Structure 1
Amino acid sequence: MHYTLRQLQVFMAIARLENVTRAAEALSMSQSAASSALKELESQYDIKLFDRAGKRIRLNEHGRQLRPQVEALLAQADALEHTLAAHNTPGTLQVGATLTIGNYLAVELMAQYMADETNARVELTVANTQSIVDQVLHFDLDVGLVEGELNHPDLNVIEWMDDNLKIFTRPDDTSTADHALSDEELQALPWIVREPGSGTRQGFDRAMAGLINKTNIRLQLQHTEAIKRAVQAGLGVGCLSEISIKEDIERGLLKPLQAPHRNWQRKFYFVLHKQKFESPGVAAWLELCRQYAAQPG
């Protein structure tokens, strides 16, 4: 074995930051040392891993092919170090969650995880499905919790728990009768929905299959609370996860609408990179999430 873990750490830092100076700072080493480590790695195997353009340095095709294996190897080395130093205690877990999951489920899960795992930490990133998927693909996140369905050759997408979308309006809205809405009525409603790229929007588009091209979408907003406030202000009707509006309906702040002939069911998913080593922390997090989903109610 001719390469060193330090050389691989330098390679990963430069790949992530696309700048040798910033990579060296992140690794607490000099720029010359970082440059030398990369040069030695490339020289040992007679390979170029980056394309250089001025101060920018980006992975070339060889580097992109190598990155998943290096990421997996360093993750295993890190897990081994934690095992030796801390008796297999999980360290910092990088979790990404879509807005519904992040705002209404993830904090409770984080609290339980840190209570169960001594000295463990969770850093949570909340964004839409596409953003979370991109960060998992680039190894910036250990695991993603998403609402949208997806298929990617580099990802393991695993069913987690069931969810339902609910359509709703303001409590005093008299324009929607208290009956099951027909397709014609659904098309005529002024909709306030999530932006394309979000799992909630994907679920809405699927539920409205055959109608979506003629549906009256008045507003597209990126945040759940903004949609609820817009509906309460009388700007239209919304469609969000039942998790996010349950309390508002119970308090009389929103009124549910019914269209049972349309399929509003969907699932939440785990997303993991196939090449990323599953650390003890990731395994503990996944098990905790599964236990949460199995709870009644």
Structure 2
Amino acid sequence: MHLTLRQWQVFVSIADAGTTAAAGAQLALSQSATSAALNELEHQLASPLFDRIGRRLVLNAQGRALLDPARALLVAATDLERVAGVGQANAGPLPLLLRLGASTTIGNYLLPARVAALMRHTPQAQVDLRIGNSADVVTAVQRLEVDLGLIEGPCHESGLQVLPWQRDDLVIVAAAASVPDRMDLAALARARWLLREPGSGTREAVEQVLLPHLHHFARSMQLGSTEAIKQAAAAGLGLACLSRHAVADLIALGSLTVVDTQVPPMSRQLWVVRHPGKRVPPPLRALLGLPADAFGRE
């Protein structure tokens, strides 16, 4: 049996894209070349890996069992190519590449200072920080595209290891001159709320802490980023419930104010998400303040 990395690349791309045409576009291959690579892989394994449903290819049980090992193989091959290339070009110490996925509040407001501290103490470290909403981060963890993910809401996907990281205080804010000194629950329920999109950990956290008191948002406006919500709130477009870390700058400038309400103090749990097949480098543990045994024996 002679299996190639290209065959595994094709297999993983088809699993992600659902068709040979879409996978071929991702890999810069023709559809016929992509189909031929998959057919040869299935022939050598003596087993189909997909169910053919119309034009779509859906992983069967054998394909699902091979998907994670195939992803891990491709990640390892990429790392080996990078290290070999650096070794040819530079006789000095090899760079330490850490891949981290983070949802927007964590990536924009909590991690930059930690990354800066790591790079001061570990000059050879390189941090690849991918920022998206919580659903995007979980997908990157599942696909072994990052070493760890940090998210602002619970993880609903099975097969991943999820640990609590730290607490994050939430505050209700508005333009400094647009709200009374105190707002009761009825006033909060009538207000326009500035919300993130579904799939965002911030959106899920806001619904969890506010809806038990308000029951529903009578009026809302959806915006695609925390920065957009901050600026919209500062412009007087409505109320926002955000991480205290995210709004600290505009509060200090006087553009936003924390609204005094009857809602009890609010916070949310931030989470670390890991794929069981992914080893976590010690410097990444140090970056996040994780104990050595956080994930048990790897």
What range is the shorter-chain TM-score in? Answer: 0.7 to 0.9
- Could you say which residue in structure 1 is the equivalent of 2:289? 290
- Could you say which residue in structure 2 is the equivalent of 1:187? 189
In structure 2, give the amino acid aligned to 1:177: D
Q: CA deviation at 1:42?
A: 2.3
Match for residue 101 of structure 2 among 59, 79, 96 = 96
- Could you say which residue in structure 1 is the equivalent of 2:243? 241
Q: CA deviation at 1:265?
A: 0.9
CA contact (8 A) 1:71 1:139 kept: yes
TM-score (norm 1): 0.76
3-state SS of the aligned residue for 1:284?
helix
- Aligned-partner Cα distance in 2 for 1:111–1:287: 12
Q: CA 1:171–1:32 in structure 2 vs 1: closer, same or farther (change >3 Å)? A: closer
Higher relative contact order, chain-length normalized (CA < 8 Å, sep 6+): 1
Aligned residues: 281
- Could you say which residue in structure 1 is the equivalent of 2:127? 122
Q: CA deviation at 1:100?
A: 0.8
In structure 1, give the amino acid aligned to 2:239: V
Q: CA deviation at 1:195?
A: 2.2
CA contact (8 A) 1:129 1:147 kept: yes
CA contact (8 A) 2:151 2:272 kept: yes
In structure 2, give the amino acid aligned to 1:200: T
- Aligned-partner Cα distance in 2 for 1:113–1:48: 46
Match for residue 149 of structure 2 among 144, 149, 161 = 144
- Could you say which residue in structure 2 is the equivalent of 1:295? none
**CA distances 1:178-224 after superposition (whole Å, capped 9, x unpaired):** 4xx43223213222222222111111111123344433333121211
Match for residue 202 of structure 1 among 201, 204, 208 = 204
Q: CA 1:228–1:76 in structure 2 vs 1: closer, same or farther (change >3 Å)? A: closer
- Aligned-partner Cα distance in 2 for 1:95–1:233: 33
- Aligned-partner Cα distance in 2 for 1:133–1:36: 32
- Aligned-partner Cα distance in 2 for 1:185–1:262: 16
After the TM superposition, which of the residue ranges 96-105 and 240-249 deviates more from structure 2? Answer: 96-105
CA contact (8 A) 2:185 2:262 kept: no
- Aligned-partner Cα distance in 2 for 1:53–1:121: 43
Q: CA 1:88–1:3 in structure 2 vs 1: closer, same or farther (change >3 Å)? A: farther
Q: Does 1:64 align with 2:64?
A: yes
Q: Does 1:215 align with 2:217?
A: yes
CA contact (8 A) 1:165 1:203 kept: no
Q: CA deviation at 1:74?
A: 5.0
- Aligned-partner Cα distance in 1 for 2:52–2:156: 33
Q: CA deviation at 1:169?
A: 1.4
**CA distances 1:29-86 after superposition (whole Å, capped 9, x unpaired):** x999977765454223311124568997664442123101333455567778889997
3-state SS of the aligned residue for 2:211?
coil
Q: Does 1:155 align with 2:160?
A: yes
TM-score (norm 2): 0.76
CA contact (8 A) 2:75 2:145 kept: no
CA contact (8 A) 2:185 2:214 kept: no
Q: Name structure 2 gaps, 5 residues minimum.
A: 291-298
3-state SS of the aligned residue for 1:140?
coil
- Residue identity over aligned pairs, in percent, reads 34
Q: CA RMSD in A?
A: 3.5
In structure 2, give the amino acid aligned to 1:245: V
**CA distances 1:91-139 after superposition (whole Å, capped 9, x unpaired):** 5433221111121123333334444445443332222112222232233
Q: CA 1:191–1:11 in structure 2 vs 1: closer, same or farther (change >3 Å)? A: closer
Q: CA 1:279–1:238 in structure 2 vs 1: closer, same or farther (change >3 Å)? A: closer
Q: CA 1:163–1:260 in structure 2 vs 1: closer, same or farther (change >3 Å)? A: farther
- Could you say which residue in structure 1 is the equivalent of 2:177? 172
